[in-house]
Structure 1
Amino acid sequence: MRKIFSLLFAAGICPGAFAQIAGDVININEVSRIEKTLSADDMEGRAVFSAGIGKAAAFIADEFRKAGLQTPPKGDGYLQTFTVLKPKYLGGSATVNGKAFDEKNVVVITGEPDFSINEKSGYEIVRIGKGTQLFADAFGIVSSGKNKLVLVDTSFSKNFQRLTYFKRELLEAKSNTVFLLADEVPSTFEIRAKHEITKSTLSNVVGILPGKSKKDEFVIFSGHYDHLGIGKPLNGDSIYNGANDDAAGTTAVVMLAKYFKALNNNERTIIFAAFTAEETGGFGSRYFSMQFEPAKVKAMFNIEMIGTESKWGTNSAYITGYEKSDMGKILEKNLQGSVFKFFPDPYPDQQLFYRSDNATLARLGVPAHTISTSKMDSEKFYHTADDEFETLDMKNMTEIIKAIALSSTSIVAGTDTPSRVDTNALR
C-alpha cells in the first residue's frame, strides 16, 4: 500500500482524495445508468448510418457537456463529423504489359467517379507476398494515405476478391489504392474504373480536458459506440444491443471524463473519444488520428468489452500488445498496492491488438493499447443479439473503470511517458 500512496502523492493526489472522488464519481448507479441507456432497445443496436447511432451520439455529447468538457477544434459541438464515401462499381478495364488483364484480378479503392492511372502516374509499387497476412497488410496500405499499386501474390487468388471489402465505405481522401493479383512488377499498365459515389456522414463524439502545465501533450481515453444494429431474429430478438461490445467501453470513457474533471489536476491534456464505425472498418479512429500530431499523443487507453469478468476473476483486466511499448509496465506499477491487476493479453493468437481502434494510432507510433476483460475464447454473447445489459457484471465493471483511472495516474500527471511503438515491427 505504501507504493500506491507514494505514487498518488507524487502525482499531486492525496490517496484519500482518490478513494473519495473515485467512489463518489465512479459509482455503480451512474455506470449502470449510462450503460443501460446506450444498450437499450431504442438505440436499435447503434449501427452506422442509423437513427439509433445518432441518438447514442447525442446522449454521449450531452454527458460530455454535463461533465464540463471542452469541444474539439473544428467540431460541431462535441461531434467530430466527417464524410464517408460509398462507391458502387460500374465497370472498368486493365492492360498490363500491353495485354488485357482480367478485370476480376483488379480491385480499385478510390473515391473518384472516373479513375484512370498508368505507369507514369507516380504510384508507389508495393507487394503483399506469399505467406503474409493479406487483409492486415491491405488495411495498412489502404490506410496509409498514399497512392499505391499493390501486387498481391497469386497464392491469394481464392481470397483476392474479398479485398472489395475495403470499397464498402471510404474516408473522403485524396489517395487511391489499386490491387493487382500479379507476381511480377509490370513495365507498363493502364487501369480504368468507373464508380457511382454516394456521400454520407458519420460522427465521433469527442470532449477535451485541457492540461495544467503540458497542454500540448495528449492522453486519450477511447471506446467505440457503434455496433451491429438490427439483424436476423433469434428467439424473437433482432436487436444487437452491444452492451459489452462496446457500450461498456463507451460508458467507461464517459465515467473517466467525469472523474478527471472532478479531480481537476491533470497536467497533460486528456481527450475523451467515442469512436464510430469500429465495426465497419475503423473509420472513426482513422479520421480522429488525422486531427492530431502523433508525436503529441503520449498514450492511448482504448477500452473494449469490460462488462464481464476476465479469466483471472474480478478486479483484473488485460492489455493488448503488451510487448509493443512499456505502457503496460507503467500501468502495473501504478496499480501496485491496490486490489487491481492488469496482465498481458492472454489471447495472442486472436491478434486483438490489431482488431480495435488502438491499432490506428499505434501504426503512427503512439503507445496505444486496448484494455479488456473479455474471455475471447469463450465469450458466448459476442456479436449476438444476447449481448444485453442483463448479462453484464456491473459491480466488477465499475471497479475496472476505477482501475483504469488509477493505472493512468502517472501518465496523466506527466511523470511517466510510455515508449513509442515501433511501427516497422507492426504487421
Structure 2
Amino acid sequence: MRKLGLLLLAASLGQLPVFAQENPAAALINEEGFTKHISKLASDAFEGRKPFTRGEDSAIQYIAAQFKALGLKPGNGNSYFQDVPMVNIFSKPVGNLVIKGKNDSISLQYLDDYVAATRRVQDQVKLQNSDLVFVGYGIVAPEYHWNDYAGLDVKGKTVVVLINDPGFADSTLFKGHIMTYYGRWTYKFEEASRQGAAGVIIIHETAAASYPWKVVRSGWSNSKLHLQTADNNMSRTIMEGWISQESAKKMFALSGLSPDIMSQAKKKGFKPVDLHLKTSLVINNTIKKSTSHNVLAILPGSKRPQECVVYSAHWDHFGIGETVKGDSIYNGAVDNASGTAGLLELATAFSQVKPGPERSVLFLAVTGEEQGLLGSEYYASHPVFPMNKTVADINLDVLNYFGKTKNITVIGMGQSELDEYAQRAAAKQGRVITPEDHPEGGWFFRSDHFNFAKKGVPGLYIGPGTEAVGKDAGWAKEQIATYNRERYHSPKDEFDPVTWKLDGMVQDIRLLFDVGLTLSNETTFPKWKANSEFKFIKR
C-alpha cells in the first residue's frame, strides 16, 4: 500500500503537485494508482465486465479486494456485495407493425421503421386493436403548468409522443434548450404506464433525441436487462417502442392529418388528438432471471456516522459482442474503468485522512449502468443509509484521459448547490467550472447520480474540461468528439499507457475529493436550486 508520508516528502521536493489548501491525503490520488487499476479493469482478462458473466466476477472481486486492503468496512452488513436481482428479456416482435385506418393501412418494418419491446416478464405479450392517440410530448409537469394527459383516459390505448420537451422548440418554455427529465424517453414510458396506457410509441427526431435512428435501432435489437419486481413489471405498458420520423409522417397522413401536427404539439395549449387508427402487435420474449452485484464499502464517520456522502461509479460494460476489426471484447477503459479507478483512488485517499471525516463516506461501485442505471436504481430503493441521511452523490463516469484542463465541466449545472462546492474546489486549483456544451441532450439524466436525484438527493456529475492546458482552443473538444465518434461503446475503448495523459484525471479526482471531504465535515445538507425539477421531492 502506498505510504502517505513518502508521497508528501516527494511533493515537498517538487516531484508531485500538491495544490494550495488541499488536504495532504489528496497526494495519494496519482497516476500510478490510476494506471494500476485501469490496466487491470480494462484488460482482456476481465472480458468487458458484463453482468452475469465471468467478467462480472473478476471485476467485483477485484474492487472488493481493494476496499478490504484499505481497511474499509463492508458496506452491506458483513459483505462488500449487494445482490441486484435482474431479468434479461430478449423481445422479438412478430412481423411488421401494422397501423390500420378506416380505409387503408401502413406496414412498418422492424428495425428499419420501428422498434418495440416489453418489460413484462411473460413469454409473449399481445397488443390487440389498440386505439392510437397523439398526446404531444406525453408530459405531466405541474410546475410548468403543462399536462398533455389532462381530461384524457388512455386505458387500453397506445399513446404516441414526441421526444424531448417543449423547451427544445420554444426557449421560453420549461428550461429552454436545457432538457428536463420530462424530455427523456425513460420518462415518456414511465408516465404512459402511470396513465394506464396499453402501449407507448415515441416519434424519433435526430436533433431532439441527440442521436440518429441507428442508435435507437442498435440499442433495441438486443436483449435488455431490467430489475426484477414483485409484479413482474405488469404495471408497465404492454409495449414500449419508437417509430422513425418518416413513419410518423405516414401515420399522420393515414389519419388525415398534416405532419404539421407535430409542430402544433410543441405549443402551449395543444390538446390530444385521437388518430382514429388502431394497431396490434405480438412480442415473443426469451427470459432469464439472475443476480448481479453492487460493490460497496464504508468509511465510518467520527461524529455523525449515520449520515453519509456517496461516491459512485459503474463497473459494468458490454462484455464480448460484435467483432470489429478482429476484436470482440468491449473493454470499456474510459467508460468506465476510469471512473471505477477514480472511486478506488478516492477510497485510498479518504482512508488516510487525519482526523477522519465526521460523516461516513460510502464508496459504491454499481452494476447495470449500461443497461439503464439498474444498480444505482436498486441501491436507491434499498439503501444502506436512508435517503434523508444521504448528503449527496458524487458520480464518476468517463474521466479525462487527455491531460490537464483550465476548466471542469459540471453536467446539469444549475441543479443544486453542489455547483458552488465544485466551484470552490476548482478555484483552489486555479480553475473554473463550466456547463456542458449540449444540455439539450439531457446528459444529467444518463448516469447513476440520477437515481439519487429521483429520491431527492443532489448529485454532482463532472465531465472532462474543454480548455486544455498548453493546447489550442478547440483541441480538447476534438479529443472528446473523436472518442465519442470512434471509441465510445466499441472494442476500441482500450487503455493505452503511452497515449493517455493521466494528470488531468488526477486533477479532476482531487477536485472531487475536496468536494466530498468538505461535505463530510459539515452539518448542513446541500439543497436543490429554485428551478430544479427535483426541489419538491422529499428525501
Question: Which range, TM-score by smaller chain?
Answer: 0.7 to 0.9
Shift of 1:125: 9.3
Are 1:251 and 2:344 matched, yes or no? Answer: no
Change (3 A) 1:237 1:113: closer
> How far, CA to CA, are the matches of 1:232 and 1:164 in structure 2?
15
Instruction: Please say which structure displays the higher CA radius of gyration.
Output: 2
Structure with the largest fraction of helix: 1
* Structure-2-length-normalised TM-score: 0.62
Are 1:22 and 2:26 matched, yes or no? Answer: yes
1:128–1:137 CA contact under 8 A, matched in 2: no
Corresponding residue of 2:513: 405
Change (3 A) 1:331 1:385: same
Alignment equivalent of 2:458, drawn from 363, 367, 378: 367
Change (3 A) 1:142 1:59: farther
> How far, CA to CA, are the matches of 1:43 and 1:248 in structure 2?
14
Alignment of 1:237-316 (within 5 A): 237-263=327-353, 264-292=355-383, 293-309=386-402, 313-314=404-405, 316=407
1:365–1:423 CA contact under 8 A, matched in 2: no
> How far, CA to CA, are the matches of 1:73 and 1:226 in structure 2?
20
Report Cα offsets for 1:5-50 as digits up to 9, x if no partner: xxxxxxxxxx999553221x22322221112111112111212222
Shift of 1:343: 2.6
2:162–2:204 CA contact under 8 A, matched in 1: yes
Corresponding residue of 1:378: 482
> How far, CA to CA, are the matches of 2:71 and 2:48 in structure 1?
28
Alignment of 1:126-137 (within 5 A): 129-130=161-162, 132=164, 137=184
Are 1:44 and 2:47 matched, yes or no? Answer: yes
Give unpaired runs (5+ residues) of structure 1.
1-14, 93-101
Alignment of 1:10-409 (within 5 A): 18-23=22-27, 25-73=28-76, 77-87=79-89, 108-112=118-122, 129-130=161-162, 132=164, 137-140=184-187, 148-149=196-197, 152=200, 168-173=224-229, 174=231, 175=233, 176-178=235-237, 179=239, 184=274, 197-263=287-353, 264-292=355-383, 293-309=386-402, 313-314=404-405, 316-373=407-464, 375=477, 376-379=480-483, 380-390=486-496, 391-409=499-517
Corresponding residue of 2:175: none
1:363–1:423 CA contact under 8 A, matched in 2: no
Amino acid at match of 1:209: L
> How far, CA to CA, are the matches of 1:425 and 1:296 in structure 2?
17
Change (3 A) 1:409 1:346: farther
Report Cα offsets for 1:104-125 as digits up to 9, x if no partner: 998542235687999xxx9899
> How far, CA to CA, are the matches of 1:239 and 1:207 in structure 2?
29
User: What RMSD, in angstroms, separates the aligned Cα atoms of the two structures?
Assistant: 4.4
Corresponding residue of 1:4: none
Change (3 A) 1:91 1:301: closer
Change (3 A) 1:360 1:19: closer
Give unpaired runs (5+ residues) of structure 2.
1-18, 95-105, 109-113, 129-153, 166-180, 206-212, 242-250, 252-272, 466-476
Corresponding residue of 2:525: 417
Report Cα offsets for 1:127-166 as digits up to 9, x if no partner: 6644546996442366689764366368569x9x979679
1:335–1:406 CA contact under 8 A, matched in 2: no
Shift of 1:387: 2.1
Report Cα offsets for 1:212-270 as digits up to 9, x if no partner: 23233221111111112234444443322211111111011111112112115222221
Higher mean displacement: 205-214 or 142-151: 142-151
> How far, CA to CA, are the matches of 2:187 and 2:308 in structure 1?
24
> How far, CA to CA, are the matches of 1:202 and 1:194 in structure 2?
24
Change (3 A) 1:141 1:366: farther
1:353–1:369 CA contact under 8 A, matched in 2: no
> How far, CA to CA, are the matches of 2:508 and 2:341 in structure 1?
12
Shift of 1:57: 0.9
1:334–1:408 CA contact under 8 A, matched in 2: no
Amino acid at match of 1:171: L
